Structure 1
Amino acid sequence: MQPRKTDLARTALQAHRAPLDMRQRRLLILCDGQRTVADLTGLLGQEAPAMVMQLVQAGYLSAGSAGADAAPAAVAAPRATVAAPVPVAEAATPVERRRSLVAARIYVLGILEMQRHPQAAALFRDLQQARAEDEVLQRLQSAMRLLPALTSEGYCQRVRQRLLEALPLEHCDAFAEVA
């Protein structure tokens, strides 16, 4: 099976308004109709087949196939659906382990890079050069304080939510007060 984005997925990726987490968004971006589920599993980990099935059921992906392999792919799909509850339940633990200050830093760097404002560019450079943990946390907080002046409140809320998904749990409290 070679999953392909639907119009709903394209709209969700452009509007940033869909109830998708970072891993689901990443999966949607990678589903171009050329990659197989095995390719996606190699890129995203063992929970990729279950996420593909969830996104197919939600209407974000269509189950594209490659010619003669269509029948085996259709047979394999129900088995993946039956096994989906186990990886999804286990997926909560790896996501927690993947929380890191580096991931949060990279995410905010990407957000700042998209802003067309001198303050955002200066903060981008500062965050990029920050190495000490305290310094990185200060720069991340500064970015979250600056963002409402540059973008809409809804966008800020989504960025804040995704940042909290990436940050290690011990640092989340420091960002709860940055509103």
Structure 2
Amino acid sequence: MQPRKTDLARTALQAHRAPLDMRQRRLLILCDGQRDLAQLTGMIGPDASAMVIQLIQAGYLVSSAALEPATLPAPPGAAPVAAPAPTERRRSLVAARIYLLGILELQRHPQAAALFHALQRARSDEDVIASLHTALMALPGLTSPGYAERVRQRVVEAMPDAHAAQLAHAAIATA
């Protein structure tokens, strides 16, 4: 099967308004009708096939399996192939930091530049989390509130749960 994007997927990728997480967006970008499920699994991870099914059901992908010749049934007595166990999404404080650095760099605003440099200089996890928090709190003043909220969600998705909890605690402490 070589899944490919639908018009809905192309629109969602351009508008950044679809309710897709970073891994789903990455998978949609990779689904060009040329890569098969095995290649996508190698790029995304063992849960790629489940994500492809979800995106097909949501209308973002179409399967080229209907265009391919039918597969042969398993011979009698063959053991069924078990689906791989779902794995934990890879999360990283570094990934969240790099993502937000890229967003701040795109803002072309003096305050965004100062936040960028502060985040870039942060070394310890606590300093990085504090810089992420400061930048996320300032972002609604630099962009639209909706865009700032989507950026915040992506940062939290990229972070390990423990660090995301620290970021949430910092937000509550300053509120």
Moved over 3 A (4+): none
CA RMSD between the two structures = 2.5
**Alpha-carbon offset, residue 118 of structure 1:** 2.2
Equivalent-residue separation in structure 1 for 2:108 and 2:6 (angstroms): 30
3-state SS of paired residue (2:131) = helix
Unaligned runs of 5+ in 2: 73-80
Higher helix fraction (1 or 2): 1
1:40 aligned residue? 40
Pairing partner for 1:116 from 63, 87, 108: 108
1:49 aligned residue? 49
> What TM-score do you get using the length of structure 1 for normalisation?
0.78
The number of aligned residues is 163
Contact 2:2 2:34 in 1 (8 A): yes
Equivalent-residue separation in structure 1 for 2:10 and 2:107 (angstroms): 22
Question: Alignment identity in percent?
Answer: 64
**Alpha-carbon offset, residue 129 of structure 1:** 3.1
Unaligned runs of 5+ in 1: 77-82
- Counterparts of residues 10-89 of structure 1 (less than 5 Å): 10-64=10-64, 70-72=68-70, 75=71
2:76 aligned residue? none
3-state SS of paired residue (2:88) = helix
Equivalent-residue separation in structure 2 for 1:17 and 1:161 (angstroms): 12
1:146 aligned residue? 138
In our comparison, the structure showing a higher alpha carbon Rg is 2
